[in-house]
Chain A
Amino acid sequence: MNLSPEDVKHIALLARVRLDDSEVERLSEQLSSILDHFAALAAVDTEGVEPTAHPLPLANVMREDSVSPSLPREDVLRNAPATEDGYIRVRAVLE
Chain B
Amino acid sequence: MTATATRYETIIGLEVHVQLLTNSKMFCSCAADYSGAEPNTHVCPVCLGAPGVLPVINERAIELISLTGLALHCSIAPFSKFDRKNYPYPDLPKGYQISQYDLPICAGGYLDVVTADGPRRVGITRIHMEEDTGRLLHRVDPVTGEGYSLIDLNRAGAPLMEIVSEPDIRTPAEAREYLVRLRQILRYIGVSTANMEDGQMRCDANISLRPVGQAEFGAKVEVKNMNSFRAVHDALVFEELRQAEALDRGERIPQETRGWVDDRAVTVSQRTKEEASDYRYFPEPDLPPLRFNEAYLESLRASLPELPEAKRNRFLALGLSDHEAETLVETRDRAEFFEALKARIGGDEQRATKLAANWVLGEVGRWANETGQNLADLPATPEKLAKLIQMAEEGAITAAAAKEVFSAVAESGEDPATVVEKRGLATISGDDELTAVVRDAIAGNAQAVADYHAGKESAIKFLVGQVMRATRGRADPQKATDLLAAELDSK
A93/B29 contact (C-beta < 8 A), A14-B86, A64-B59, A73-B38 known: no
Q: Answer yes or no: A70 CB below 8 A from chain B CBs.
A: yes
Q: How far is the CA of A53 from the CA of B30 in the complex (A)?
A: 28
Q: Number of contacts between A and B (CB, 8 Å)?
A: 127
A56 and B89 form a contact (CB under 8 A): no
Measured CB to CB, the closest approach of chain B to A52, in angstroms, equals 9
State which of B39, B62, B274, B289 has its C-beta within 8 Å of the C-beta of A87: B39
Q: How far is the CA of A93 from the CA of B59 in the complex (A)?
A: 34
Interface size class for chain A? 20 to 34
Q: How far is the CA of A74 from the CA of B88 in the complex (A)?
A: 25
State which of A14, A62, A87 has its C-beta within 8 Å of the C-beta of B57: A62
A65 and B38 form a contact (CB under 8 A): no
Q: How far is the CA of A87 from the CA of B155 in the complex (A)?
A: 13
Interface of chain A residues 21 through 60 with chain B (CB within 8 A): 53-54, 56, 58-60
B30 and A84 form a contact (CB under 8 A): no
- Which residues of chain B are near A76, meaning CB under 8 Å? 40-41, 43, 48, 153
B40 and A65 form a contact (CB under 8 A): no
B285 and A62 form a contact (CB under 8 A): no
Which applies to chain A's interface (DSSP): helix, strand, loop or mixed? Answer: loop
State which of B29, B41, B44 has its C-beta within 8 Å of the C-beta of A63: B29
A86 and B57 form a contact (CB under 8 A): no
- Which residues of chain A are near B280, meaning CB under 8 Å? 14
Q: Answer yes or no: B146 CB below 8 A from chain A CBs.
A: yes
As a 0/1 sequence over residues 275 to 312 of chain B, the CB contacts with chain A under 8 angstroms (1 = contact) are: 00010100101011111000000000000000000000
A66/B283 contact (C-beta < 8 A), A87-B150, A93-B149 known: no
Select from chain A the residue with minimum beta-carbon distance to B284: A53
Measured CB to CB, the closest approach of chain A to B206, in angstroms, equals 18
State which of B58, B88, B149 has its C-beta within 8 Å of the C-beta of A14: B88
State which of A54, A68, A79, A92 has its C-beta within 8 Å of the C-beta of B29: A68
Could you list which residues of chain A lie within 8 angstroms of chain B, going by C-beta atoms? 14, 16, 53-54, 56, 58-68, 70-71, 73, 76-77, 79, 84-95
Having A59-B289, A66-B24, A67-B31, one finds 10 other A-B pairs with CB under 8 Å, namely A54-B289, A65-B61, A67-B23, A76-B43, A76-B48, A88-B153, A89-B149, A92-B146, A92-B147, A92-B148
